[in-house]
Amino acid sequence: MSGSVVLVHLAGAVALMLFATRMVKTGVERAYGDVLRHRLRNTMRNPFMAVLAGTGLAIALQSSTAVTLLVGSFAGSGIVSGAAGQLAVRGAEIGSALVTKLLTFDLTLLVPVCLVTGTVMFMATERRDWRQLGRILVGIGLLVLSLEMIGQASEPLRDSEMLPIIITYFAGDPITAYLLAAFVTWLFQSSIAAILLMAALAGRGFIPPELGVVLVLGVNLGSSIIAPMLTRGADAAVRVVPVGNLLMRGVGSVVMLILFMIVNPPLGLLGATASDQIVNAHILFNVIILMAGLPLAGLVYRGSEWIVKLGTKPEPVDPFAVTELSALNEQALDTPSQALANATREVVRVCETVEIMLKRIIELYESADEGKIKALAALDDRVDRKHAAIKIYLAKVTRNVMTEDEALRCQELIGACVKLEQVGDIIVRNMLVHVQKKLDQGLEFTPEGWRELSAFHASVLANARLAFNVLVSRDAETARQLVLEKDRLRDFEKETSQKHFLRLRDGTPKSIETSSIHLDTIRDLKQINSLLASIAYPVLEEQGLLSGSRLKAS
């Protein structure tokens, strides 16, 4: 077999490994992303739990970079402290290394089991969670299969005359080998894929252990560069955690490379084979960085803040810029009536932001670009911040003695704020995903399908405005109208779905291509409408106009 054919086979096997890794990551994000993010938020206040949370999330997502980006966004929003974010990233690196170790075992039997089970689960049902679980299983099967393919594709290299020369050169030039490994990892966008490739080649005797350790250190440098590169256009607060990871892991790899070249320690303790030694060296390096990172987390975070600030150009000051003021006046907390009025003003501002998001999302379905998508996602961050601030403010209000009406109004505002935050999440985490899919795949709705979606969205937007009015006016008739609209929209949804299925039956190509986006969007809009309609329930209950969960006949 010629050298070019061998390289083609090897490239194909590596490509399958990268695809399978991404497939598993995407499946986990879609099926369990919200749950994992929520639990990560709640556990990162304790340093030890932050490390464990980062480890678990990296194992689930098959990517320490994904965890770094997620934790960076949390730190940028003020949800977690910077030091806790650094520790979570340290744990993520351990989790990523453990995944690599697990995949080096003989998992041949998993290939047919995962492929068959995953395919059946994906094709036998329309349930979103089961289909994503099927996607994960297929991805795991393909990942293990790709490792076997790498081994088989590299087998002919044993007879190569050039390979020993290349290996000898890199063994004698560790700095070049270190930088090459960093570049390959950055190219792969995955340290797991890079380490697995090196372990597979070492298992065939192509990479000696000493060179393997140097390559492992280069992989860790390359992996630490990925997140700062991906966030270079983000807000300064978001970039601090990725830069801190680069300081710890990247600089740590340089220090360890220098020490390794000077001391030249025996590698027998790392394992019996070259493959085991490479993977165990990767785990050991990240454990050392974790141990060093525990006492240095605060210092590293302050250093990364300084670096980010140094590279950030100051924004030009607009003397006529309007500063957004908060209505949550702490001095009014002792007077519940005034405090509740302040909270109402702030909730109304959240309503305005949600209305903008709901109005713009349908525009993105028709014409979207990356800038507009990021701008809409930023609005959800604003909703989350205000939602958190309002809940804390109202919790402080409840420390004072309140009348029954004031207590009910406080609960009503908290409930409305929670529902508004959920609406924002649906728009960003569900509907924006549909927009991105439509943009990436260049899909187009049929004229009939687009008219149905637009009409359904217009009804939801009109109901949103009714809900916001009810929140302020507490008018019983408007509240009753809003709940009646919920019933009408349910019938509208059935009618729209039936028309869509008729187009599918007729084999309309555009309907087939956009079917999942169309139906998922209708479902999301219906869920948004239900959340907004429930804002009217406290008013109707107070007026005695609800019987259980249904309106009384007038």
Evaluate whether 146 touches 16 at the Cβ level (below 8 Å).
yes
- Token pair recorded at residue 368: 């979207």
pLDDT of residue 507: 64
Residue 178's pLDDT is what?
92
Amino acid at 77: S
Strands (E), 37-182: none
Angle between helices 47-61 and 82-103 (to 10 degrees): 40
| Whole-number Å distance between alpha carbons of 214 and 222 | 13
d(CA 34, CA 19): 23
Confidence at residue 122, expressed as pLDDT on a 0 to 100 scale: 85
The HSE-up count of residue 449 (CA atoms within 13 Å, CB side) is 27
Encoded tokens for 500: 């869509």
Report how far apart, in Å, the C-alpha atoms of 304 and of each of 73, 286, 297 are: 15, 19, 10
Looking at the domain 327-432, which fold is it?
Methane Monooxygenase Hydroxylase; Chain G, domain 1 (1.20.58)
Type of residue found at 29: E
pLDDT (tens place) for every residue of the chain, 554 residues total: 555 777 788 788 878 877 887 788 777 767 666 566 656 656 666 667 778 877 877 777 667 777 777 777 766 655 566 677 777 888 888 888 888 888 777 778 888 898 999 899 888 877 777 888 888 889 888 888 887 887 777 777 666 677 778 888 888 889 999 999 899 888 877 788 888 888 888 887 888 888 989 999 999 998 888 888 878 777 777 788 888 888 888 889 999 999 998 988 888 888 888 888 998 999 999 899 888 877 887 788 788 888 888 876 655 544 444 455 677 878 788 888 888 888 888 888 889 899 999 988 888 887 777 778 888 888 888 888 888 888 888 888 888 888 888 888 888 888 888 999 999 999 988 888 888 887 777 777 777 778 888 888 888 888 888 888 888 888 888 888 888 888 788 888 788 777 777 766 666 565 566 677 888 888 899 899 889 888 888 888 877 766 655 555 54
Nearest partner of 249 among 99, 94, 102, 72, judged by Cα: 94
Cβ contact 167:208 at 8 Å: yes
Predicted pLDDT of residue 312: 66
Beta carbons within 10 angstroms of residue 345's beta carbon: 14
Give the HSE-up count for residue 413: Cα atoms under 13 Å, Cβ half-sphere.
33
Q: Is the pTM of this model over 0.85?
A: no
Closest CA to 184 of 152, 143, 155, 226: 226
DSSP 26-56: HHHHHHHHHHHHHHHHHHTTSHHHHHHHHHH
User: What is the DSSP secondary-structure string of 510-553?
Assistant: HHHHTHHHHHHHHHHHHHHHHHHHGGGHHHHHHTT-EETTEEPP
Which sequence spans correspond to the domains of the chain? Answer: 3-159+169-310, 327-432, 443-554
pLDDT at residue 158 in the model:
64
Q: Which of 62, 80, 63 is nearest to 71 (CA)?
A: 80
CB 118 within 8 A of CB 137: yes
pLDDT at 68: 78
Q: What's the CA gap between 280 and 533, in Å, rounded?
A: 56
**Separation in Å, CA 245 to CA 63, 175, 303:** 14, 22, 11
Class of domain 443-554: mainly alpha
CA proximity to 153, closest of 1, 4, 8, 9 = 9
Nearest to 422 by CA among 27, 34, 30: 34
What pLDDT score was predicted for residue 322?
43
How many other CB atoms are found less than 10 A from the CB of residue 54? 32
pLDDT for 223-276, tens place per residue? Answer: 888 888 878 777 777 788 888 888 888 889 999 999 998 988 888 888 888 888
